[in-house]
């Protein structure tokens, strides 16, 4: 063993599932992503939702003004609804995909799709126009079953629209991982936190509101399946943090909002995790190459050097508590160029 720190250089890391919010919160969180990532998929579940061209271009402008001189490509999305072919054609040059939320399942998804069959015309147009469908795949069932109960809907869509790229967002179960190998046109993102925590971390000891997220963290065998696929850099799996900032008074409260804020610590924590599993050589694929191939995108070049040098996570970024607050991650970003 050498005393010199281990090192890994990642070219153009991508965060394929990101919540940037708007206004003051966007000012806090966007620079934390644009610092270390070369691009990210920006979720449209604002209030009101990003679901028309004006709102989309306005939001993109806001993001670009905050990103400033950082090298960072925001890949925009719009909120799924019953769009006409013409609307979709207008969106197409500006977006990476369309995000579908089953109604009421997660933060600000009240306007999501209540019944899929009523909107299959829009999905058919998307297939024709080669616009990927990004899905928060949960039903309204019991909290631990919601993802599993949604999987038949993914299978239905995959069969009915074989040329549509379908992305299962933030998967949390072994059953969802298994689906990747059964349908050519089904892909997935997975978060940092679902590779690390289970329901035990949220509620096994004291209750930890800053580890409360949707979909909720599941069983140890689910985490194992996700981790196994991630460290193998399964070619249909992409990193997407689902980094979701909420002010501290919305988390440490009587009704705590769902969301874990991981953007500023994600790369260091992933390096630590992949190093622990002797998988550093597969981190590049997991955090960038897989997404480039799946979405057929070429992100801006940006080299991030990570080293096995400890990094103490701050207690807060603005009024947001990050994952691992005040704890040490054994890896850190040491160089950007």
Whether cis (ω within 30° of 0) applies to the bond prior to 176 is no
Report residue 320 as tokens: 């947001």
CA distance 177 to 333: 30
The dihedral over CA atoms of 306, 310, 311, 315, expressed in degrees to the nearest 10, equals 150
Residue 279, marked binder = no
To a copy of itself, the closest distance from the beta carbon of 157 in angstroms equals 25
Applying CB under 8 A, does 206 fall inside the site for a copy of itself? yes
The residues in 215-234 that bind a copy of itself, with binding defined as CB under 8 A, are: 216, 219-220
60 binds a copy of itself (CB under 8 A): no
The CB-based long-range contact list for 171-174 (8 Å cut-off, 24+ gap) reads 171/137, 171/147, 171/226, 172/147, 172/215, 172/216, 172/217, 172/218, 172/222, 172/226, 173/147, 173/148, 173/218, 173/222, 173/225, 174/221, 174/222, 174/224, 174/225, 174/226
**C-beta of 203: minimal distance to a copy of itself in Å?**
6
Whether 242 is a known active-site residue: answer: yes
Interface residue with a copy of itself, options 119, 256, 275, 297 (CB under 8 A): 256
Does residue 199 touch a copy of itself according to CB under 8 A?
yes
Q: Which of 15, 111, 222, 242 is catalytic?
A: 242
Q: Quick check: 208 binds a copy of itself (CB under 8 A)?
A: yes
Query: Which residue from 23, 5, 4 is spatially nearest to 275, judged by alpha carbons?
Result: 5
Return the residues of window 313-332 that contact a copy of itself according to CB under 8 A. Answer: 321
User: Please, which residue, 68 or 204, has the CB nearer to a copy of itself?
Assistant: 204
Nearer to a copy of itself, 100 or 213 (CB): 213
Q: What residue ranges bind a copy of itself (CB under 8 A)?
A: 142-144, 198-200, 202-210, 212, 216, 219-220, 252-258, 321
Residues with catalytic roles: 242
């Amino acid at each position: 063993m050498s005393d010199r720190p281990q090192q890994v250089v990642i070219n153009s890391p991508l965060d394929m599932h990101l919540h940037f919010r708007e206004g003051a919160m966007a000012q806090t969180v966007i620079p934390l992503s644009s610092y270390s990532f070369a691009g990210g998929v920006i979720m449209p579940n604002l209030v009101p939702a990003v679901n028309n061209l004006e709102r989309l271009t306005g939001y993109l402008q806001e993001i670009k003004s905050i990103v400033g001189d950082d090298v960072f490509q925001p890949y925009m999305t719009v909120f799924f609804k019953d769009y006409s072919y013409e609307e979709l054609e207008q969106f197409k040059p500006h977006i990476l995909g369309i995000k579908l939320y089953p109604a009421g399942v997660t933060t600000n998804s009240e306007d999501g799709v209540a019944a899929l069959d009523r909107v299959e015309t829009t999905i058919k147009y998307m297939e024709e126009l080669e616009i990927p469908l990004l899905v928060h795949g949960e039903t309204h069932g019991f909290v631990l079953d919601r993802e599993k109960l949604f999987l038949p809907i993914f299978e239905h869509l995959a069969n009915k629209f074989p040329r549509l790229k379908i992305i299962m967002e933030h998967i949390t179960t072994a059953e969802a991982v298994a689906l990747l190998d059964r349908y050519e046109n089904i892909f997935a993102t997975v978060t940092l936190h679902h590779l690390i925590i289970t329901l035990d971390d949220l509620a096994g000891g004291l209750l930890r509101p800053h580890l409360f997220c949707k979909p909720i963290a599941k069983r140890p065998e689910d985490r194992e399946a996700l981790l196994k696929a991630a460290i193998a850099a399964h070619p249909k799996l992409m990193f997407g943090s689902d980094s979701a900032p909420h002010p501290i008074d919305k988390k440490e409260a009587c009704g705590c909002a769902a969301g874990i804020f991981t953007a500023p610590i994600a790369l260091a924590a992933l390096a630590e995790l992949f190093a622990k599993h002797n998988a550093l050589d597969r981190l590049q694929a997991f955090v960038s190459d897989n997404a480039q191939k799946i979405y057929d995108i070429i992100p801006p070049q940006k080299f991030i050097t990570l080293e096995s040098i400890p990094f103490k996570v701050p207690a807060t970024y603005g009024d947001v508590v990050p994952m691992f607050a005040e704890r040490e991650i054994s890896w850190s970003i040491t160089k950007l160029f």
